[in-house]
């Protein structure tokens, strides 16, 4: 303890004796990692901001170093202080009797100081992260790292933190303040200062002595050495270049910290000469000066000390005559102290120690015996956070506190401490029984205390699970689970299993824009996320389903953007000339609205071309006839009459089809990694080929109507080498009634903007305007080698026979659908279900060789047999393209009908927007008024449900609940579609088809007004959907029956020996369950599949939902649940031969 002044003695008489703070003599406890976030109220109330105390109660010692007290006075004061200390210690022991262990606040335990020695853990541009005693971390702003007086002396670039500091550097710090962390109320930030003007405030020229170690800034670099600044104006320093350290380091910069030993003091010139030899500095011990004040003590000073006593978790040392300090167990000489470590520290044993921290207000001093710190070096760091070690050795078991381990790291073993709360998933009350010294355990590194050279670990089994434990484990594009810990207006904060946190921005919380995120994201829920990026330990993730479940390659760097790469991204900005798409790890690209085919760059690179400002007025540049570019006085103007990589029609708005945050599939057109530019396209495969390539099967061309015949339309094709093309009536539309109507209104000169080349014969083309074929042109096969079993392919019926129907794809490639595979109901007639030219979706079942009979039925030379199924149960639509084509065809027909009236005929439509409210007069009452009470001649307000331009018909609703938002079900006049309202979404109007490609001739499912149905939103209102919200009914995949099949079913019966068509409903190890007829159930035993028993798994070629031909071989018996009868069936080839199917 420092000797108090006489003034202090007078104050002591008034206050009933001295009150020494126990912090300088209290016993140290081992660190409990789980208490890092807790703070005692006493510590906060004592000093809310932990303001720096720069003055001590003890006055400065007189000049010359002479003490203001006599030797007798000092002896009396010391005896009095020791007696009071022992009395307080006895009182403390009585108070804690029976309490072997007490939980203490982490900050109260370790943060009882104002000055401390630290190690630089991170160096950033704006701040430093310092590792402090007790595992604490502090922050140093760039303005607090160097004294402002040096700002004028430091050249640009030399004063940056990375140029002055390095990781592992030992520094002396002063606490400025302790404030709350805005991100986590349980954490508080410790702000530090490295300014020497604060650290050396108690120094003067008279106070410094030769042999003392001081830290200084390099103020300027001279020819013979370096002028130093100690943060004080009372004296300056000089370091000759002949110094050993200076000669070794040729990279000394202005503002850099230099530590040296005082060799000579020139008091007249007020100059202190230093030597910065590292060996000399590390071995220099602070001398025992008379009357030394605690203000003269600086963290990092090396002192000679004696062991005064051993404490529960450390030792107490006396040094420099007046002072005592404590050494924590983690700062002993041996970095792996065993349970008998006290035997190494006998009383009065001499040791070399270094000052670890100081609190002048309480005179608490912390010391370290760590050999690395004593030798003025930071302890080595041989482990990384997240590392796993299987054979860590238990060195010591601290009862009720934790374990000290020896980590077998390289090149040196590392001590690690595991808190009792991190030992096991469940609470462990007696560590000494579960763990023995010398045993081996599996540990994962949880953190590092750089100043102590100590790692913190965890033994919990859950710590070894999961792919993310630290920020370094996070990789862009990885999919992992995380728990939601907070939801705010900006997004959600999620936490991985290892404790690492990430942000899910609001736009990435859902596929579509979410207004109230707290309703969908509940705190505590665990969801699946994909990592978008990790920058400066800031991790962002997405919960968009299309991104999380994407199987496409991840684009996380510009170098990965190879031409032709197809990947998923999300739109971040939509502009007039295109849209920006972001990928992972900050990578972004651009999708141009216009395609400049003959230029080496696209729209947003135009400014990188030659200087167009020098071009003359209205110089024209053409690009394949798609885009004309004009330069008018240096400004660029583009005329759009071609394709768009956005997939837009010329003149249409990108905002009508896309929105910010939308996930899109992109194809890389070109990229320049050096300039971070990626050109993209939203068209996966260019549909329109260049003229130089000629016309190929499956390509899309344009054509102008030249002639309309009773059975077809002749067009002139806009392509090189081909003059004529033929479109049969059935190929004008996917809908039969629209095809006939389209042909009736076609005029000469009408131009088809998209026609699919179905077949090529000499210079004549077979073309199709079917939307289903054009939309899937890239997927249509033209050769058997392109056919993949179990795939769904669009096609059209080219022929019907009694035993089945033929489905044509491209060219002469044809598939055959047997009668048993064409319909779900086998009793219907093929002619009743299909017509020639009908658009169908076909499921490829098998590819083999045609029989002689089948070859005679077709007119092509193909000898390969492609078996397809047209059953609605396995070929139903998965999108709303069938209904979308209906509306697009209706729009085209309406436009053609208005050509005779020069466009004025469609003006009446402008007053009937879907969802709007109009007024009208009742002319006649019908039976489908829906219960509304109206009279003939009355003026009413009605909601517009739909507008049929071709029929000049407007569907209205009189229901009161729809007059504001105009939402209702359809009227009975709608045959191919139903108008639906969605109550959960403000009664939004949606349209759903009640038919499908393969069941156009089947009787439609009947619906009633007000009936609730299940539907999926497939397309939002855009120009491509005629401004309608398109839905897909769940019931569309159900089997639809013809009237004749319904009658036949009523007469069906089962007899032993009959052949039946049965559908597989369940496959068990020893039998298959099937259904057939009307409510009949059957089973096929594993022995009734093949004639021989060579196959190990006879059921491997069957799947649930498949239809098979089987023979009834036994009468029905009770099933397992005794509620239904099971017929025994057989599908052995011998059993099926020579009999007629019943």
Question: Tell me: the pLDDT tens digits for 644-667?
Answer: 566 664 456 777 788 888 999 999
Tell me the C-alpha distance between 757 and 727, whole Å. Answer: 10
Query: Do 580 and 521 fall into the same domain?
Result: no
In 522-568, which residue ranges form alpha helices assigned H by DSSP? 545-548
Domain boundary among 654, 681, 708: 681
Tell me the C-alpha distance between 146 and 231, whole Å. Answer: 9
In this structure, how many other beta carbons lie within 10 angstroms of the beta carbon of residue 286? 21
- Answer whether the bond into residue 1057 is a cis peptide, omega within 30°: no
DSSP 692: G
Q: Which of 71-80, 263-272, 498-507, 1073-1082 has the lowest mean pLDDT?
A: 71-80
C-beta separation of 511 from 546 below 8 A: yes
pLDDT band (50, 70, 90) for residue 547: very high
C-beta separation of 103 from 35 below 8 A: yes
Tell me if 341 is assigned to some domain: no
User: What's the gap between Cα 806 and its chain centre?
Assistant: 48
The half-sphere exposure of 969 on its side-chain side, counting CA atoms within 13 A, is: 12
Percent of the chain past pLDDT 70, that is, above it, reads 70
Kindly report, residue by residue over 1-32, the tens digit of the pLDDT. 444 444 444 444 344 433 333 333 333 434 34
In this structure, how many other beta carbons lie within 10 angstroms of the beta carbon of residue 503? 18
Tell me the C-alpha distance between 141 and 177, whole Å. Answer: 12
| Residue 103, pLDDT score | 36
The pair of structure tokens assigned to 479 is 């999919």
CATH at residue 780:
2.40.50.140
Mean pLDDT within 939-949: 74
| Residue 762, pLDDT score | 58
Question: Which residues contact residue 965 at a Cβ distance below 8 angstroms, ignoring those fewer than 6 apart?
Answer: 915, 943, 986, 987
| Residue 646, pLDDT score | 67
pLDDT band (50, 70, 90) for residue 628: very low
Percent of the chain past pLDDT 90, that is, above it, reads 24
Residue 487, classed as helix, strand or coil, is: strand
Query: Do 977 and 1013 fall into the same domain?
Result: yes
647-651, 690-694, 818-822, 855-859: which has the highest mean pLDDT?
818-822
pLDDT band (50, 70, 90) for residue 1142: very low
C-alpha distances in angstroms, 866 versus 402, 835, 842, 998?
A: 72, 20, 11, 18
pLDDT band (50, 70, 90) for residue 241: confident
Tell me if 63 is assigned to some domain: no
Q: Determine the structural domain holding residue 509 and report its residue range.
A: 471-548
- Statement: residue 181 has pLDDT above 60: no
Mean pLDDT within 773-780: 90
Question: Which residues contact residue 583 at a Cβ distance below 8 angstroms, ignoring those fewer than 6 apart?
Answer: 554, 555, 556, 567, 569, 589
Kindly report, residue by residue over 966-1005, the tens digit of the pLDDT. 443 333 334 556 667 666 666 677 888 888 888 888 766 6
pLDDT band (50, 70, 90) for residue 58: very low
Tell me if 588 is assigned to some domain: yes
Tell me if 151 is assigned to some domain: no
Q: Which position has the higher pLDDT, 141 or 247? A: 141
Average predicted confidence (pLDDT) for the chain: 76
Q: What is the DSSP string of 818-836?
A: EHHHH-SSTTS-HHHH--T
Query: Do 702 and 840 fall into the same domain?
Result: yes
| Residue 856, pLDDT score | 41
- Statement: residue 1038 has pLDDT above 50: yes
Tell me the C-alpha distance between 887 and 96, whole Å. Answer: 86
| Residue 472, pLDDT score | 80
Query: Do 1089 and 989 fall into the same domain?
Result: no
Tell me if 295 is assigned to some domain: no
Beta bridge partners of 848: 865
99-103, 512-516, 737-741: which has the highest mean pLDDT?
737-741
| Residue 352, pLDDT score | 93
Kindly report, residue by residue over 1078-1090, the tens digit of the pLDDT. 778 899 998 888 8
| Residue 615, pLDDT score | 34
- Statement: residue 45 has pLDDT above 50: no
Query: Do 1060 and 1126 fall into the same domain?
Result: yes
Whole-prediction pTM value?
0.48
- Statement: residue 687 has pLDDT above 50: no
Query: Do 528 and 569 fall into the same domain?
Result: no
Mean pLDDT within 578-597: 82
Q: What is the DSSP string of 191-232?
A: EEE--HHHHTTT--TTT--TT-EEEEEEEEE-SSEEEEE-S-
C-alpha distances in angstroms, 760 versus 50, 256, 697, 767?
A: 87, 81, 7, 9
C-alpha distances in angstroms, 745 versus 709, 713, 892, 904, 908?
A: 12, 12, 10, 17, 20
Tell me if 1123 is assigned to some domain: yes
User: Would the CA dihedral through 926, 930, 935, 937 be positive or negative?
Assistant: negative
Mean pLDDT within 768-785: 90
Number of domains into which the chain is organized: 6
C-beta separation of 141 from 127 below 8 A: yes
DSSP 57: S
Determine what percent of the chain falls in helix, strand and coil, rounding each to the nearest 5: 20, 35, 45
Residue pointed to by tokens 């024209």: 620
Q: Which position has the higher pLDDT, 407 or 939? A: 407
Mean pLDDT within 925-934: 58
- Statement: residue 63 has pLDDT above 70: no
The pair of structure tokens assigned to 304 is 């000679």
Residue 141, classed as helix, strand or coil, is: strand
Tell me if 143 is assigned to some domain: no
Query: Do 807 and 859 fall into the same domain?
Result: yes
Kindly report, residue by residue over 442-495, the tens digit of the pLDDT. 998 888 999 999 999 999 887 887 777 778 888 899 999 899 999 988 899 999
C-beta separation of 42 from 108 below 8 A: yes
Tell me the C-alpha distance between 436 and 421, whole Å. Answer: 18
Kindly report, residue by residue over 867-892, the tens digit of the pLDDT. 999 988 888 888 888 888 888 888 88
Query: Do 541 and 562 fall into the same domain?
Result: no
Kindly report, residue by residue over 506-542, the tens digit of the pLDDT. 989 888 878 888 888 889 888 999 999 988 788 999 9
| Residue 599, pLDDT score | 31
Structure-derived torsion over alpha carbons of residues 366, 371, 373, 376, reported in degrees to the nearest 10: 130
Q: Which of 243-252, 535-544, 851-860, 938-947 has the lowest mean pLDDT?
A: 851-860
Query: Do 696 and 766 fall into the same domain?
Result: yes
Query: Do 491 and 436 fall into the same domain?
Result: no
Kindly report, residue by residue over 249-298, the tens digit of the pLDDT. 557 888 888 989 999 999 889 999 998 888 889 989 988 877 678 888 89
Query: Do 733 and 870 fall into the same domain?
Result: yes
Domain boundary among 1001, 1036, 1071: 1036
| Residue 64, pLDDT score | 36
Q: Which position has the higher pLDDT, 963 or 296? A: 296
Tell me if 256 is assigned to some domain: no
Query: Nearest to residue 714, comparing CAs of 759, 745, 753, 746?
Result: 746
Domain boundary among 422, 439, 464: 464
- Statement: residue 796 has pLDDT above 90: yes
**Rg, the chain, Cα only:** 43
Query: Nearest to residue 3, comparing CAs of 304, 292, 200, 325?
Result: 292
Query: Do 806 and 951 fall into the same domain?
Result: no
Residue 906 backbone dihedrals phi, psi, to 5 degrees: -95, 5
């Amino acid at each position: 303890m420092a000797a108090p002044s006489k003034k202090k003695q007078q104050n002591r008489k008034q206050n009933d004796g001295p009150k020494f703070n126990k912090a300088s003599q209290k016993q140290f406890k081992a660190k409990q990692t789980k208490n890092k976030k807790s703070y005692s109220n006493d510590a906060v109330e004592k000093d809310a901001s932990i303001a720096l105390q720069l003055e001590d109660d003890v006055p400065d010692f007189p000049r010359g170093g002479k003490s203001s007290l006599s030797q007798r006075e000092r002896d009396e004061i010391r005896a009095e202080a020791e007696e009071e200390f022992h009395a307080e210690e006895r009182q403390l022991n009585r108070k804690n009797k029976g309490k072997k262990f007490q939980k203490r606040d982490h900050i109260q335990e370790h943060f009882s100081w104002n000055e401390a020695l630290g190690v630089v853990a991170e160096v950033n541009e704006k701040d430093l992260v310092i590792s402090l005693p007790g595992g604490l971390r502090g922050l140093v702003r760039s303005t607090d790292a160097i004294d402002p007086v040096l700002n004028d002396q430091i050249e640009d670039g030399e004063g940056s933190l990375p140029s002055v500091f390095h990781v592992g550097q030992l520094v002396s710090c002063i606490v400025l303040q302790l404030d709350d962390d805005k991100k986590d109320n349980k954490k508080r930030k410790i702000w530090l200062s490295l300014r020497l003007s604060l650290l050396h405030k108690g120094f003067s020229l008279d106070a410094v002595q030769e042999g003392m170690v001081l830290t200084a800034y390099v103020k300027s670099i001279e020819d013979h050495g370096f002028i130093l600044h100690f943060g004080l104006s009372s004296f300056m320093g000089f370091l000759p270049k002949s110094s050993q350290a200076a000669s070794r380091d040729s990279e000394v910069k202005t503002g850099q910290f230099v530590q040296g030993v005082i060799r000579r003091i020139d008091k007249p010139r007020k100059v202190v000469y230093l030597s910065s030899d590292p060996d000399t500095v590390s071995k220099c011990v602070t001398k025992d000066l008379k009357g030394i004040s605690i203000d003269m003590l600086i963290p990092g000073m090396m002192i000679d000390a004696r062991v005064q006593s051993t404490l529960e978790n450390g030792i107490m040392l006396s040094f420099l005559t007046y002072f005592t300090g404590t050494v924590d167990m983690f700062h002993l000489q041996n970095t792996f102290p065993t349970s008998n470590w006290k035997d190494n520290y006998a009383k009065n044993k001499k040791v070399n120690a270094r000052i670890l921290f100081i609190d002048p207000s309480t005179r608490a001093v912390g010391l370290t015996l760590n050999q690395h710190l004593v030798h003025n070096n930071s302890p080595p760091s041989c482990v990384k956070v997240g590392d796993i070690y299987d054979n860590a050795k238990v060195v010591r078991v601290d009862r009720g506190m934790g374990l000290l381990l020896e980590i077998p790291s390289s090149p040196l073993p590392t001590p690690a401490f595991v808190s009792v709360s991190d030992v096991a998933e469940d609470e462990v009350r007696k560590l000494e029984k579960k763990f023995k010294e010398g045993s081996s355990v599996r540990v994962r590194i949880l953190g590092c205390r750089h100043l102590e050279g100590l790692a913190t670990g965890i033994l919990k089994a859950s710590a070894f699970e999961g792919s993310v434990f630290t920020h370094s484990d996070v990789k862009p594009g990885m999919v992992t689970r995380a728990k939601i810990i907070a939801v705010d207006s900006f997004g959600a904060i999620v936490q991985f299993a290892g404790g690492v946190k990430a942000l899910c921005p609001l736009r990435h919380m859902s596929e579509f824009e979410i207004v109230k995120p707290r309703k969908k994201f509940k705190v505590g829920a665990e969801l699946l996320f994909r990592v978008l990026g990790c920058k400066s330990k800031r991790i962002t993730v997405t919960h968009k389903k299309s991104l999380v479940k994407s199987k496409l390659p991840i684009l996380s760097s510009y170098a990965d953007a190879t031409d032709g790469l197809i990947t998923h991204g999300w739109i971040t900005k939509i502009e007039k000339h295109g849209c920006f798409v972001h990928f992972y790890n900050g990578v972004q690209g651009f999708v141009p609205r216009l395609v400049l085919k003959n230029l080496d760059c696209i729209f947003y690179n135009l400014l990188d071309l030659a200087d167009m400002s020098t071009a003359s007025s209205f110089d024209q540049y053409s690009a394949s006839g798609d885009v004309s570019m004009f330069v008018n006085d240096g400004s660029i103007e583009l005329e759009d009459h071609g394709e768009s990589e956005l997939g837009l029609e010329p003149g249409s708005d990108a905002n009508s089809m896309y929105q910010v945050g939308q996930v899109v599939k992109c194809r890389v057109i070109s990229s320049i990694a050096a300039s971070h530019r990626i050109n993209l396209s939203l068209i996966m495969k260019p549909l329109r080929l260049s003229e130089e390539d000629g016309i190929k099967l499956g390509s899309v061309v344009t054509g102008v109507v030249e002639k309309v015949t009773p059975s077809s339309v002749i067009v002139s094709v806009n392509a090189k080498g081909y003059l004529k093309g033929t479109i049969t009536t059935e190929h004008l539309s996917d809908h039969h009634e629209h095809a006939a109507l389209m042909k009736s209104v076609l005029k000469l000169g009408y131009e088809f903007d998209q026609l699919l080349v179905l077949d090529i014969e000499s210079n004549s083309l077979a073309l199709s305007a079917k939307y289903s074929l054009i939309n899937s042109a890239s997927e249509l096969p033209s050769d058997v080698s392109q056919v993949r079993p179990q795939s769904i392919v669009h096609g059209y019926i080219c022929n019907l026979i009694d035993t089945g129907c033929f489905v044509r794809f491209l060219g002469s490639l044809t598939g055959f659908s047997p009668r048993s595979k064409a319909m779900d109901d086998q009793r219907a007639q093929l002619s009743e279900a299909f017509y020639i030219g009908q658009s169908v979706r076909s499921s490829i079942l098998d590819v083999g060789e045609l029989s002689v009979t089948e070859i005679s039925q077709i007119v092509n030379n193909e000898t390969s047999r492609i078996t397809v199924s047209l059953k609605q149960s396995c070929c139903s639509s998965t999108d709303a393209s069938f209904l979308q084509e209906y509306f697009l065809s209706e729009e085209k027909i309406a436009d053609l009908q208005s050509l005779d009236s020069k466009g004025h005929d469609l003006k009446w439509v402008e007053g009937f927007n879907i969802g709007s409210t109009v007024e009208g007069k009742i002319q006649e009452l019908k039976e489908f008024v829906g219960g509304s009470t109206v009279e003939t001649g009355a003026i009413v307000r009605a909601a517009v449900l739909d507008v049929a331009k071709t029929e000049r018909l407007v569907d209205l609703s009189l229901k009161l609940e729809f007059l504001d938002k105009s939402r209702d079900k359809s009227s009975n006049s709608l045959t191919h579609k139903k108008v639906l309202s969605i109550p959960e979404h403000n009664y939004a109007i949606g349209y759903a088809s009640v038919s499908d490609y393969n069941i156009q001739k089947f009787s439609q499912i009947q619906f009633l007004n007000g009936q609730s149905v299940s539907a999926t939103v497939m397309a939002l209102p855009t120009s491509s959907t005629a401004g309608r919200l398109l839905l897909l009914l769940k019931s569309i995949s159900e089997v639809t029956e013809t009237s004749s099949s319904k009658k036949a079913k009523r007469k069906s019966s089962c007899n032993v020996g009959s052949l039946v068509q049965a559908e597989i409903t369940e496959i068990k190890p020893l039998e298959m369950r099937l259904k057939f007829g009307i409510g009949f159930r059957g089973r096929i035993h594993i022995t009734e599949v093949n004639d021989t028993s060579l196959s190990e798994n006879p059921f491997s070629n069957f799947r649930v939902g498949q239809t098979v031909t089987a023979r009834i071989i036994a009468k029905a018996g009770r099933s397992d649940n005794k509620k239904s009868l099971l017929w025994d069936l057989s599908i052995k080839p011998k059993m099926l031969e020579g009999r007629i199917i019943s």
